[in-house]
Structure 1
Amino acid sequence: MKKKLIILGLIIVLALNLAACGGTDTGKTPDGGDKGAGQKSNTDIVISTAVDFITMDPADTNDTLSGSVQRTMMEGLFGFDKEMKVVPLLAESYEANDEATEFTLKLKEGVKFSDGEEWNADAAKVNFDRLADQEQGLKRNTLFKVVKSTEKLGDYEIKITLSEPFGAFVNTLAHPAALMISPKALEKHGKEVSQNPVGTGQYTFKEWKPGESLTIEANKDYWGGAPEFTSITFKPVTENGTRISMLKSGDADFIFPVPTEQIEALKSEKDIEVATLPSIIVRYITLNTAKPPFDNIKVRQALNYAIDKDAFGKVVYDGFTAPMDSLIAGNVQYHSAQKPYDYDIKKAKELLKEAGYENGFETTIWSSNTTTNIKATQFIQQQLAEIGVKLKVENMEIGTLDEKVTGYAEGTPGKDAGVEMYMIGWSPSTGDADWGLRPLAASESFPPVSYNVAYYSNPEFDKAIYEALQTADSDKRNEAYERAQKIVWEDAPMIYLTVDETSFAARNNISGIYILPDGSLSVKDGKVNK
């Protein structure tokens, strides 16, 4: 007997109002001067980010920021509200069998892609066939590896059959990897669709100047009604002080993240609103377990004891963090708190001695070149020096970094990868434990397939996470994920650091833009304050 779960209507996501009431466009700059002839209007806004974008192909995206921009132009069958609860978008309802192997979905009617292509069952099938095709070599193909077939039942109805039970499938459909692309665009551009995105979203793609800006324009024919912003230009600015200056001067209307050392100061600015919110973003350092000395569990555990996580949070994030107590954050579904690796230099040195590294060793850490990550890697460098570990720091541009980490042929063993230590953050954009654990620690998830940059492999961990996916029973999933979290925590293929608080700031001429708990940006409810 099928379990019928009908989602009634499109849930309206409540906008986060950043200001009580903003002013109209006065023709003046914030300091009272006249606007220059080329300055933007009040409906053409600028959002400044800390890093650059990598691709506009949702199926080939590993970073949250690229996914955020994609969501402005493309939509999935489902999405998330501000609390990371699943809401319908291009689907109206679904039915699932008890085994969680068959999902029948009714699709929204009367929707078109911005190139005029119809949204219907045929378009959905083209997209899901592409996502499920493991020969495509796209970074998110493994997320849909269980999709056995997609069948058209009617013009606006499809059935997706899975090769095995997958209790987290609907959450997976809400992941940004499942954003739908126009079949016409896929046929026309092929792999170059990453530079030519076409979806059903509020905005359409205008231009992308890598390293400089990416601009989208309002989709006047959007099925949910045209947005208030005429255009949005995203500008990556790695230097924290520059991002703050842009916000203060009006060169940017919205920035994220806000440098934590500037949060309190910005709150005194009368034309700016600042917000900090809990997140599901974890910060950690992968240790390449396929290479010595990180193939030794005692070395990995020693490094965890050698880092003062509270001090790390205060120095790098001004206290807007909390120490990790699992590979997934506390408000991710099925989180299970573990015994912490308390700061203990004596224990760290003892473990290194037992592992045969009494005098320490030399290694290299990679990270992006944001101001915050430069500060973070320098902190780690100083801390590890206390136990004799000489750490070389390499901070680099995000695109270069991603290529160095994932730019290998599938099947390349970890011992042949260049990475040794790698500082990164991760947020499971399904809100479920599966996508917080499997991509980072499953044996199937080595780069470039996914993001197990630690090249960690433990059959017992793999068994636990797959048991959790074999059932829709919440208690059974919880038990399996508890086991998986305990195993990976004790094996320590990473140095577990902190859980973020997200931060963003906006000028009071706009409202309704916010950051979700996974660190992604939503402009869906953006408004011009008048």
Structure 2
Amino acid sequence: MTTTYNRRGFLKISSIGLAGAYLAACSVGGGDQGAAEQALRAAFSQPINDLDPHGPSSVDESTLLAGRLIYDTLIRRDGDKLEPSIATSWEQTDPNTWVFRLRDDVTFHDGSPLTARDVKASLERVRDAGTAQSALWTSVTEVTAEDDHTLRVVTDEPLGTMPVNLTLMFVLPADKMDNDGFFGKPIGSGPFRVERFTPSDVLELSAAEYWNGAPKLARASLPYIPEVSSQITALRTGELSMLWPVPPDQLNQLKGVDGIRMETVPSYAYYFTWFNCGREPFTDPRVRRAMWKAVDIASIVENLFGDGAERMTAPIPSTVFGHAPQQPYPYDPDGAKNDLAEAGLGDGFTTSLMWFSDTGPLADGLAQAMISGWAEVGITVEPQNLEKAEWLRRLNAKEFDMDLQINTVTTGDADFTLGRLYDSEADRMGYRNPDLDEILREAHRDSDQRRRAELYSQACTIVWEDAVGIFPAALISTYGLRSSVRGFEPAPSNQPDLRGVTLAT
């Protein structure tokens, strides 16, 4: 099985030359080659387009990656646990009120103190921004800075997801965040300060005096290299110190290479294929289940992704809080034909599948493999490989039959995906289920984690058995590292903490 990639013509030069050109342009150290060689040069697979953590790119992996390095949050995730960050403690004083106590030793990179006033302004800004992250905060009615280090948040209904949502809410300086040009070189309170930022090109950082321990690295540079083969070449030649995530079909290019090691972690990212449940014939769950039975998901995941993914057993990855394993749909073409016949489609039908190639690794191959499986049971699927802007327009307008894409459960909590996407009011794919709505809303309100886990188990079962979509593969994040990189820990969010990283000489 092969995958076709679209390449820009100007990128069809030698990988070594291209990688060298990008990294020369992105070198750090002000022209001092010795200084530049001591900087960590780490390439993420997606471009960093925006440093505004509350703006249109607020849930993009690349913006979140930058945000973790530049800014702070009240609460942070450490594995399966939520830990204090700027907030030293938090309390739900009544069902609709949360009170947070803040550290008194946090400063922004310009030396000004971070206070509850900055947190208030930041929370109100993200709530009112009208972006993907704003949906987490619609129930917030009042934010009060009671003093410099005490914050009170009032909601119009219980918000049990308040703590986990706050792991995404980056704090900005209240008196500067709305200034023109602020996000060209923003000021945060995180472990690194911005030295230079060119969107979709490079982010250059230097270590800050950080309240939770200054980074061991003096500098870090995050260049964007569009061509996968050039990324691999740059890591192999030592022009990059780190590359992630390494695409599954490129793992063999790095295995056994002297001076390179790979570290892996199951990620929060996964593929799904949504059915437009408001459009015939996908209004009928028998048809949706037939589509799943017609595709040999286990073989596709194994043969296409190899060690780069695992077969999903729920509509969210196993790394996410709220995951509850379900019985996998069998590969059963005869059963699929029977289901179609019962639905009055015994002669098959014609439909379409849309996606964009850069949604994730091997997207083209995954699409073609599923289309081939459907053809075997008499379903003709028109492939629609779109430019991202047109794909996004059609997705938001629900102008699709089926949609293939990657999603990332950014908070590591099921509410971010199940609660945000499958509630009837969200109306993302035409699926409506009042019983599911009540389960998701109760889980959203409840702060008892055991009760929330029970509710999400029920939600996983409903979404799975109703076949709202096909959930084939949860991705394994592979980090390619030069042997000189020490103290690194892979992150399932693709947002690694670089504070403890050092470069051996």
TM-score range, shorter chain: 0.7 to 0.9
What per-residue deviation string (whole Å, max 9, x for no partner) do you get for residues 502-523 of structure 1? 2111112222344322333332
What per-residue deviation string (whole Å, max 9, x for no partner) do you get for residues 114-139 of structure 1? 24443101111111122333xx3122
Contact 1:124 1:180 in 2 (8 A): yes
CA distance 1:495–1:124, shift in 2 (3 Å):
same
Which residue is equivalent to 1:503?
478
What per-residue deviation string (whole Å, max 9, x for no partner) do you get for residues 413-441 of structure 1? xxx43343322233323332222311221
Which residue is equivalent to 1:201?
190
Is 1:314 matched up with 2:302? yes
Contact 1:273 1:507 in 2 (8 A): yes
Which residue is equivalent to 1:74?
71
- Report the Cα distance in structure 1 between the residues aligned to 2:337 and 2:278, rounded to whole angstroms: 22
Following superposition of structure 1 onto structure 2, how do residues 276-291 of structure 1 map, counting pairs within 5 Å?
276-291=264-279
Q: TM-score, normalised by structure 2?
A: 0.85
Q: Name the SS of the counterpart of 2:417 in structure 1.
A: helix
CA distance 1:395–1:236, shift in 2 (3 Å):
farther
Contact 2:264 2:490 in 1 (8 A): no
Q: How high is the sequence identity, in percent, across the aligned residues? A: 24
Which residue is equivalent to 2:9?
none
Which residue is equivalent to 1:111?
106
Determine which of 248, 264, 274 is the counterpart of 2:236.
248
Is 1:377 matched up with 2:404? no
- Report the Cα distance in structure 2 between the residues aligned to 1:354 and 1:302, rounded to whole angstroms: 10
**Greater CA drift, 224-233 or 481-490:** 224-233
Determine which of 261, 285, 291 is the counterpart of 1:297.
285
Contact 1:68 1:522 in 2 (8 A): no
- Report the Cα distance in structure 2 between the residues aligned to 1:114 and 1:129, rounded to whole angstroms: 22
- Report the Cα distance in structure 2 between the residues aligned to 1:259 and 1:39, rounded to whole angstroms: 31
Determine which of 180, 187, 190 is the counterpart of 2:178.
187
Contact 2:263 2:490 in 1 (8 A): no
Which residue is equivalent to 1:102?
97
Which residue is equivalent to 2:87?
91
- Report the Cα distance in structure 2 between the residues aligned to 1:194 and 1:490, rounded to whole angstroms: 45
Q: What residue identity is the alignment partner of 2:223?
A: K
Q: 1:395: how far off?
A: 4.2
Q: 1:295: how far off?
A: 2.7
Q: 1:301: how far off?
A: 1.6
Q: Name the SS of the counterpart of 1:387 in structure 2.
A: coil
Q: What residue identity is the alignment partner of 2:312?
A: M
Is 1:349 matched up with 2:342? no
Q: 1:501: how far off?
A: 1.9
Which residue is equivalent to 1:435?
416
- Report the Cα distance in structure 1 between the residues aligned to 2:403 and 2:60, rounded to whole angstroms: 15
Which residue is equivalent to 2:6?
none
Q: Name the SS of the counterpart of 2:349 in structure 1.
A: coil
Which residue is equivalent to 1:41?
36
CA distance 1:240–1:374, shift in 2 (3 Å):
farther
Is 1:422 matched up with 2:418? no
Which residue is equivalent to 1:466?
441
Contact 1:504 1:514 in 2 (8 A): no
Contact 1:42 1:528 in 2 (8 A): no
- Report the Cα distance in structure 2 between the residues aligned to 1:428 and 1:342, rounded to whole angstroms: 26
CA distance 1:345–1:242, shift in 2 (3 Å):
farther
Q: 1:311: how far off?
A: 1.5
Determine which of 362, 365, 368 is the counterpart of 2:354.
365
Q: Name the SS of the counterpart of 1:140 in structure 2.
A: helix
- Report the Cα distance in structure 2 between the residues aligned to 1:160 and 1:306, rounded to whole angstroms: 49
- Report the Cα distance in structure 2 between the residues aligned to 1:346 and 1:70, rounded to whole angstroms: 50
CA distance 1:289–1:313, shift in 2 (3 Å):
same
Following superposition of structure 1 onto structure 2, how do residues 3-82 of structure 1 map, counting pairs within 5 Å?
41-60=36-55, 61-81=58-78
Q: What residue identity is the alignment partner of 1:49?
A: F
Q: 1:366: how far off?
A: 0.9
CA distance 1:401–1:88, shift in 2 (3 Å):
farther
Contact 2:42 2:220 in 1 (8 A): yes
CA distance 1:397–1:202, shift in 2 (3 Å):
farther
**Greater CA drift, 339-348 or 285-294:** 285-294
Which residue is equivalent to 1:7?
none
Q: 1:340: how far off?
A: 1.5
Q: What residue identity is the alignment partner of 1:41?
A: A
Q: Name the SS of the counterpart of 2:211 in structure 1.
A: coil
Q: TM-score, normalised by structure 1?
A: 0.81
CA distance 1:444–1:207, shift in 2 (3 Å):
farther
Contact 1:442 1:457 in 2 (8 A): yes
Contact 1:272 1:505 in 2 (8 A): yes
- Report the Cα distance in structure 1 between the residues aligned to 2:381 and 2:59, rounded to whole angstroms: 27
Q: Name the SS of the counterpart of 1:380 in structure 2.
A: helix
- Report the Cα distance in structure 2 between the residues aligned to 1:365 and 1:438, rounded to whole angstroms: 24
CA distance 1:299–1:234, shift in 2 (3 Å):
farther
CA RMSD of aligned residues (A): 2.7
Which residue is equivalent to 1:22?
none
Q: Name the SS of the counterpart of 2:472 in structure 1.
A: strand
Contact 1:253 1:506 in 2 (8 A): yes
Residue correspondences, number: 472
Q: 1:338: how far off?
A: 1.7
Q: 1:238: how far off?
A: 5.0
CA distance 1:285–1:39, shift in 2 (3 Å):
farther
Q: 1:265: how far off?
A: 5.2
Which residue is equivalent to 2:4?
none
- Report the Cα distance in structure 1 between the residues aligned to 2:145 and 2:261, rounded to whole angstroms: 48
Contact 2:216 2:499 in 1 (8 A): no
Q: 1:64: how far off?
A: 2.3
Q: 1:371: how far off?
A: 5.2
Q: Name the SS of the counterpart of 1:445 in structure 2.
A: coil
Which residue is equivalent to 1:140?
133
**Greater CA drift, 150-159 or 476-485:** 476-485
Q: What residue identity is the alignment partner of 2:466?
A: D
Q: Name the SS of the counterpart of 2:36 in structure 1.
A: coil
Q: 1:404: how far off?
A: 2.9
Q: 1:103: how far off?
A: 1.6
- Report the Cα distance in structure 1 between the residues aligned to 2:476 and 2:130, rounded to whole angstroms: 34
Is 1:162 matched up with 2:162? no
